[in-house]
Each structure stands twice: as structure tokens, then as C-alpha cells.
Chains A and B, each alone.
Chain A
Amino acid sequence: MSHSDHHIERNSLAAKVEKEVEVKAQKCYQCGKCSAGCPVAEDMDFPPSMVLRMLQTEIPANDEKILKSHSIWLCVTCEMCLTRCPMEIDIPSMMDYLRQKSRSESKENPKAKNIIAFHKSFLSSIKHTGRLYELGLILDYKRQSLNMTQDMSLGPKMLSRGKLHIFPEKIKDMAHMARIFKKTSK
């Protein structure tokens, strides 16, 4: 059977990835270049090429493993895999989709707790000021991740170098920012 007439299960994760981000997992021929160049592959439970292989199987148990994986959260969107993939498979866009899918189905890997907490704190900072308020971000992240002691020495050093604002700098049209957040919240 050739790739072009491969029948895709309509409900598989691969089909959703294809529909939502136009990434065809079936095109992957497992050369492994993506995993070889991925800076975080060795920290992942499944390196990028394996995520592709699991998608190709269209087996629900594998789809589940992907959405519950640590890998999708460790991906830092460095874009190395896409650059080197001979089939130009847009793995970074696919990872964005998988993260959002994992979250909407409440399947986030517990090991990714801090990474997700950081992203959430970041967005909440922008939501409230329009710009990133780094001190607020750090404090909110500490609260969410319960990592109270981490980076204690960094704050004062940043302050003395003029790298940290004590107060947030708000944009003028905060109402506009609020509407953008509202309209894009699902």
C-alpha cells in the first residue's frame, strides 16, 4: 500500500494532527534525523521520531501515550527537527497542537508540572499588564510550582543590575488586552 492511499482512521490522533496543523505523520520514514538533532531528546520519554511512529500506528493506546507524554512539554520549539527533516514534517507545530490537546483533555504528564506552571504564570502576567512583568512572573511561578527557594539569589542580583522592575509596566489600552484574552480563551 502506498502512502497516498493509506487509509487514515478519522478519529485517530494522526488524523486530527493532519486536519488541524496540516502535518502528515504518514510521510515520516523514520530516518531519525529529528531525534538526533533534538536538544532535549535524551530527557524525553519518546524522542520526536518515536512520537511520529506512534502516531502512524493509529492505535488509541499509542495516541493516549503521546498526549500523556513528558516529551511534548520538554520540546522547546527550537525548530531543529523541522530544519533537518528530509520530508519537511513540521514537528514543532505538531507539538504545539499536541500540548493544547493534552491540556484540553486534562492529560498533562505530572512531570511537566513546573513547565506548565511557568507557561501559565507567563500568560497570566501578560493578561494583567500587557507586557511581561518578570518579578510578578517569578513570584506567581513560585506560588504555582511551590518552588519557594529556587533562584533566591538571582532576584537581588538582577535588581542591583537594573534588570528587574519592582512595579509592573502596564500598557495603556489594557481593556483591549482583556478583550483579546477573552476572545481567545476556549
Chain B
Amino acid sequence: MKIGIYPGCSLEGSARDYNQSVFALAKAFDIEPVQIPDWNCCGATAAHNLNKELSLALPARILALAEKHGLDEIVVPCAACYSRLMVTQHELKIHPELKNRICEVIEMDYKGTSKVINVIEWIDKYIIPKLEEKVKKPFNYKVACYYGCLLVRPNKVLNYDRVEDPQTMDVVMNKIGATSLDFAFKTECCGAGLSISRTDIVSKLSGKIIEDAEHRGADAIIVACPMCHSNLDMRRADINKYWKTEFKIPVIFVTQAIGLAIGLTPEEVGFKRHFVEVKIS
């Protein structure tokens, strides 16, 4: 079957590992992800910080292109892009005048008819039903599922999972044989877009998340957001310097873990691209 996909910029760059595992998983389950033709950046944090209209116009162009090409369901693996697209859909739905203005800006029709889903919803809907027959190598590890901010918030708009102690990712991980641990930092912020401009704050916040996961005896932190991944993985040297620690716990995308469970190799799911070595295979 076919499904629309909005990879977003990080999946093409710093989160190539995530991209690789999403597409490998899709292939293994006979899903053909169709990229929204000529998609642009969603504007991320920068756009809504500096220019509200632009922050709605950029996602609106993406959604309008999806509609134009008949993609009525789009999976958005990046939690940050997912949040921007959902917030835009919501804003344009409740403010018709704003919608008209944005349509004028993007010179396109926009109806808001394409359904946007996050990676866990995609897994739930298309992977889980066929999972049991495919699991070859149960993922026998203790994991701390880290949801971060934008997969669950703003909850009134996303309407997804419980906001303080979400469970969806834990359920998926347990289904592939993992033991998901209770974890206090499930939805605490990693420092998000301050990675380059305020690395000190990111090191402080991300360090607390990692510390709790290690303290509880987790073998890996499981994530579904490229920004969370880059802060916890790529920034590990900064974190260890900040806290004078030697945290070694790997940070794995949920799609990589499922990939391993169904028999894909560490290479195929992109572990070689990580900064923190992953000894799990």
C-alpha cells in the first residue's frame, strides 16, 4: 500500500539514521511511502519565533501540495514537523479569515483534508497488525521510552496519548519483546532548538534525562524525534563534559528497534551513523 510521507529536513541530513530505518521498515511491511512532491521546510522553531504568518504559510504549502497530489494520509516521522503541521491545520481550521489570508500567501487551495499522523500512529496502524508473524529476534532489553515535548504537546491540538505519562511507545516496545521501564523524564524537554545557540542549556537538560534512564538500569533510550536524538546522541560529549559524567547509554529510534526485531541488521537500520556506540544488535 501507498502512504504519503513528509520526511522533513533533519531526516535528509542529521537524522539520516532515522530516515533509513523508517524506509527499511516500510519496505519490510510492503508499505510504499510517497514523498510530498517538492516539499519545503516546515519553518521549525525559527519561523514561529520570528514570524507568525510565515510559520503558518510554510506548513500550509506542504499540506496544500499533499492535497493537490491526492495524498490523504501523511506520516510525519519528525515530532517537531508533526507538531508544526498539526498546529497549522488547527489554526487554519478555527480561524477562517486566517486561512483565507494564508491561501493568498501560498497562492494555493488549502482545505485541510490530508490526515497527518505521527510515527507511532503509523506503526500502530500499519506495522503492529502484522508484527507478530515478523518478529524474528525479540528485542530483549530494558528501555526508557522518551517522548519529549512535541509528540504529545500541545495536547489539546494533537489529541494524542496521555500528556503526562504517555504509553503508546511503551506498548509498541513491549510488543517487540522489550521491557519498558517507569521513567520520570518521559516528556521533559531536551532543550530542543537551543542545541547550537545555547549548548550549555541543552547539555544540562539532556543530561538529566539520560541520568534518570541510566539510573533506572535502562539499556537504551528509545526516541521518535530527530531533535531529541541529536541532543541526546550527537551532543553526548557536551553533556558528559557539562555534568562530568561518562554516560554511555545509546539512543535508539523506535523504528530502529523494530527493524532489529524483525531481522534487519544494525547496518540496515543506521546504527553506524550514531555518535554514541550502540552495542545492541
Q: Hey, which bits of chain A sit against chain B, CB under 8 A? A: 39-40, 43, 74, 76-80, 82-83, 88, 92, 96-97, 99-100, 103, 114-115, 117-120, 122-123, 126, 130-132, 134, 138, 141, 145, 150-151, 154, 157-158, 161-165, 169, 171-173, 176-177, 179-181, 183-186
Min CB distance B84 to A, Å, is: 10
User: A122, B44: Cβ atoms under 8 Å?
Assistant: yes
Q: Interface segment, B48-56, B68-76, B130-138, B259-267?
A: B48-56
Chain B neighbourhood of A138, CB < 8 A: 196
User: For residues 49 through 65 of chain B, which have their beta carbon under 8 Å from a beta carbon of chain A?
Assistant: 49-55, 57-58, 61
Min CB distance A170 to B, Å, is: 10
Number of interface residues of B (CB under 8 A): 57
Using a Cβ cutoff of 8 Å, how many contacts connect chains A and B?
153
Min CB distance A137 to B, Å, is: 8
What is the interface of chain B mostly: helix, strand, loop, or mixed? helix
User: B39, A80: Cβ atoms under 8 Å?
Assistant: no
Cα distance A100–B16 in the bound complex, in angstroms: 33
What is the interface of chain A mostly: helix, strand, loop, or mixed? helix
Chain A neighbourhood of B150, CB < 8 A: 79
User: B107, A99: Cβ atoms under 8 Å?
Assistant: no
Chain B neighbourhood of A88, CB < 8 A: 156
* Given known A154-B234, A180-B106, contact A40–B201 (CB-CB < 8 A): yes
Chain B neighbourhood of A181, CB < 8 A: 54
User: A100, B192: Cβ atoms under 8 Å?
Assistant: no
Nearest B-chain residue to A82, judged by Cβ:
B154
Min CB distance A45 to B, Å, is: 14
Nearest A-chain residue to B273, judged by Cβ:
A161
B205 within 8 A of A: yes
Nearest A-chain residue to B65, judged by Cβ:
A173
Pick the residue among B10, B40, B197, B199 that contacts A130 (CB under 8 A): B40
Chain B neighbourhood of A118, CB < 8 A: 46, 193, 196-197
Chain A neighbourhood of B34, CB < 8 A: none
User: A184, B40: Cβ atoms under 8 Å?
Assistant: no
* Given known A78-B149, A117-B197, A171-B40, contact A132–B13 (CB-CB < 8 A): yes
Chain B neighbourhood of A92, CB < 8 A: 154
User: A80, B149: Cβ atoms under 8 Å?
Assistant: yes
User: B14, A122: Cβ atoms under 8 Å?
Assistant: no
User: A96, B52: Cβ atoms under 8 Å?
Assistant: yes
Pick the residue among A40, A96, A163, A185 that contacts B49 (CB under 8 A): A96
User: For residues 90 through 111 of chain B, which have their beta carbon under 8 Å from a beta carbon of chain A?
Assistant: 104-107
Chain B neighbourhood of A114, CB < 8 A: 197-198
Cα distance A132–B46 in the bound complex, in angstroms: 11
Chain A neighbourhood of B193, CB < 8 A: 76, 118
B211 within 8 A of A: no
Encode B133-157 as 1/0 by CB contact (under 8 A) with A: 0000000000000000110011110
Chain B neighbourhood of A173, CB < 8 A: 38
Cα distance A44–B157 in the bound complex, in angstroms: 27
Pick the residue among B45, B50, B205 that contacts A100 (CB under 8 A): B50
- Interface pairs (21), CB distance under 8 Å: A40-B201, A76-B189, A76-B193, A82-B154, A99-B49, A103-B50, A117-B197, A122-B44, A126-B58, A130-B40, A134-B13, A151-B196, A162-B273, A163-B15, A164-B13, A165-B13, A177-B40, A179-B107, A180-B61, A184-B57, A186-B51
Min CB distance B163 to A, Å, is: 5
User: For residues 149 through 182 of chain B, which have their beta carbon under 8 Å from a beta carbon of chain A?
Assistant: 149-150, 153-156, 163-164
Min CB distance A95 to B, Å, is: 9
B194 within 8 A of A: yes
Pick the residue among B48, B104, B188 that contacts A96 (CB under 8 A): B48
